[in-house]
Structure 1
Amino acid sequence: MIAVTNVYCVGRNYKKHAEELGNDVPSEPMIFLKPSHAVCAMNDGTVNLPQNSGEIHYEAELVLHIGRAYEPGIKVEDIVGSVALGIDFTLRDVQSKIKAKGHPWTAAKGFRNSAPLTQESKFPGFEALNEGWFSLRKNGETVQRGNIRNMIFDLQTLVDYIGEHYGLGEGDLIYTGTPEGVGPTQAGDVLELYWNEEKWGGCTVG
């Protein structure tokens, strides 16, 4: 498993996802954090999640693994060491309650194992990323399918925004946002992440 420092996550970065949850489309990147302890390997093992806190939703995402420190003007292809796929697990009932109170999202987003991550792959270049699709299969059925061309804020915008506002360094991860199709998962579900038709990782929900 890779060494991880900061885990940045981008909320509502796909218009149709924001709409499916009844949220406004943001005018600038919406960034939240997960603890590094949220990250775990999607190596076809069991990922244990809190099963007594209401609905747990999956959110499949392209993940950037930062390979060097951010400097103004640096290009995505120069700062990203590799890419992976991941899931931003969300305690949806908990999130609804704390959002209504105006409280931080940590309780709904930052629990242990809430950011499982697949194997890494060398940054393939923008042409390959733009032409490729990532998808999540739940018990063999495709439930999410995304392409970075549909992002509201592109990868360069995300790197610049996070780097300038918060800093980026070697070992940081950026979960770049999820497309439409998020939904509930429960113990026993098998979740698999694919890049095009190649499986990059999977897990059984525990």
Structure 2
Amino acid sequence: METIRNIYCIGRNYRLHAEELGNEVPHFPLVFLKPTRSVVKANGQEIILPGDCGQVHYEMEWILYISQSKPAGTSVDQVVGQMALGIDFTLRDVQSELKKKGHPWLLAKGFRNSAAITRFRPFPGFEKCLTKSFSLFKNGERVQLGKISDMLFSPQQLIDYCAEHFGLGEGDVIFTGTPAGVGKVKDHDHLELYWEDEKMGECFIRIGK
């Protein structure tokens, strides 16, 4: 897998997902981070997730890989060299408690194996991606369908925002947000990630003790 540095994640970037969890739709990108130790390959292997922290939810996302530093005014097509699909695994019960207390989400989002990433492929350019969709199948049934055109904040807006506030450089990745349909994973679930009709990755879930 390509070297990954910073992992920027965008929350509530699809209106229906924000609404399904009872959250307000944001007026600017909602950004949080995952540690690099949270990364795991979605290449058909078994992924071990916590079993003693309440429900674990899947959140499938389109991932952008930054191939160079972003000076002001640089377009998404100049900055993004590759793309992938991934799953932002979330400890939902833990996150709910953290949100009630106004605490950061790291405990719910940054645990080991919480950032599953497929193989990377060349980025074809934003215009070609705009009409595309991605899907997550759980045990053979499609549970999430995302359309790039439905994003509240475009890739250009996300890149500009992250670059302005945090900086962007080669090896950084952006999880661009999850569409509606998030749900619980169980022991032995089989998850498959598709870009249109191309399977880019898969994994099997093992709930630890």
TM-score above 0.5, yes or no: yes
> TM-score normalised by the shorter chain: which range applies?
over 0.9
The separation in 1 between residues aligned to 2:5 and 2:53, in whole angstroms, is 27
Root-mean-square deviation (CA, aligned residues, Å) is 0.6
Spell out structure 1 runs of 4+ moving beyond 2 A: none
Write the mapping of 1:25-104 to structure 2, written as runs, cut at 5 A.
25-104=25-104
The separation in 1 between residues aligned to 2:71 and 2:50, in whole angstroms, is 39
Structure 1 residues without counterparts, runs of 5 or longer: none
Contact 1:51 1:186 in 2 (8 A): no
Q: Secondary structure at the match of 2:135?
A: strand
Once the 2 structures are TM-superposed, how far is the Cα of residue 128 of structure 1 from its aligned partner? 2.2
Give the structure 2 partner of residue 163 of structure 1: 163
- For 1:95, give the aligned amino acid: Q
Write the mapping of 1:1-206 to structure 2, written as runs, cut at 5 A.
1-206=1-206
Once the 2 structures are TM-superposed, how far is the Cα of residue 127 of structure 1 from its aligned partner? 2.9
Figure out how many residues of one structure are paired with residues of the other and give that number: 206
The separation in 2 between residues aligned to 1:167 and 1:118, in whole angstroms, is 25
Contact 2:3 2:171 in 1 (8 A): yes
Once the 2 structures are TM-superposed, how far is the Cα of residue 125 of structure 1 from its aligned partner? 1.6
Describe the superposition over 1:30-53 as per-residue Cα deviations: whole angstroms up to 9, x where unpaired.
000000111111110001110111
Normalising by structure 1, we get a TM-score of: 0.99
Structure 2 residues without counterparts, runs of 5 or longer: none
- Percent identity over paired residues: 55
The separation in 2 between residues aligned to 1:78 and 1:72, in whole angstroms, is 12
Normalising by structure 2, we get a TM-score of: 0.97
Moved more, 46-55 or 127-136: 127-136
- For 2:44, give the aligned amino acid: D
Q: Secondary structure at the match of 1:179?
A: coil
Describe the superposition over 1:145-199 as per-residue Cα deviations: whole angstroms up to 9, x where unpaired.
0011001100000000000000000000100000000000011000010011110
- For 1:128, give the aligned amino acid: K
